[in-house]
Amino acid sequence: MIDEFQTPDRIAELLTHVGRSTRIEDGRSELTAAQWTCLRFFARANGSTRTPSSFASFQATTRGTASQIIKSLESRGLITRRRSERDGRSVCFDLTETAYEMLAYDPLRDLVGVIKQLETAERDRFLDTLSRLASALAGQRGVPAFGTCRDCSHFGTSGGTAYCACMAVQLANADIDKLCGSYRGPAFGAQNEEDRHGAT
């Protein structure tokens, strides 16, 4: 019988192990693990979140370290900088075509392939649990949580259009499933939709 007091430790260790197992640092990859994380982040984040400070928060690193990673990708021609449309003083980043082509060989694809083998219901429960864990951990540490607009408590719809109550802006369809730095996830311990309806 599994010791119930040991289980949280084992889950935390397995999560850490799975994360590390996706990091290729043996010369087979053109990028470091941190560079891959940055590339994925800018590919998945919405326009207002593709900033150095947001990436630093997402990577749980300093602004200086994040800037060095970003500069290394710029020098390789994988990302380009532009002035923010909302704030002309801020800088945002976009991926180049070369970067999108490189993402086809992302080491994370192996893990994605394994996850795709799970049943849809199991994937949904797993995603819900991980999202709540990530939000709770961010809350404990006083740092921003990251998630998609569709899963955010700020997300709403009106007249067939989606909007963000936090930013008070209408959302483009392309941004609804992007990562956002203004994300506010469900409270940890909240039941998912299936549990609330008594499904087994």
Q: What is the pLDDT of residues 53-77, one digit of tens each?
A: 999 988 889 999 999 999 999 999 9
pTM of the model: 0.77
Q: Give 101's Cβ-side CA count (13 Å radius).
A: 5
> Is pLDDT above 90 for 26?
no
Comparing CA positions, the residue from 185, 164, 192 lying closest to residue 48 is 164
User: Would the CA dihedral through 179, 183, 188, 194 be positive or negative?
Assistant: negative
Cα separation values, 171 from 5, 40, 83, 87, Å: 44, 21, 20, 17
Residue 119 has pLDDT above 80, yes or no: yes
Categorize the per-residue pLDDT at 1 as very low, low, confident or very high, splitting at 50, 70 and 90. Answer: low
Mean pLDDT in the chain? Answer: 83
- Per-residue pLDDT band at 136 (split at 50, 70, 90): confident
DSSP state of 131: H
Does the pLDDT value for residue 27 go beyond 60? Answer: no
| Per-residue model confidence (pLDDT) at position 199 | 40
Query: Tokens standing for 42?
Result: 């800018």
pLDDT of residue 177: 86
Angle among Cα 112, 115, 120 to the nearest 5 degrees reads 125
Q: What pLDDT was estimated at residue 3?
A: 65
Domains of the chain: 22-108 (1.10.10.10), 118-190 (no CATH)
**pLDDT over 70 at 88, yes or no:** no
Stronger pLDDT, 92 or 165, i.e. the higher one: 92
Question: Which pLDDT does position 198 carry in this prediction?
Answer: 41
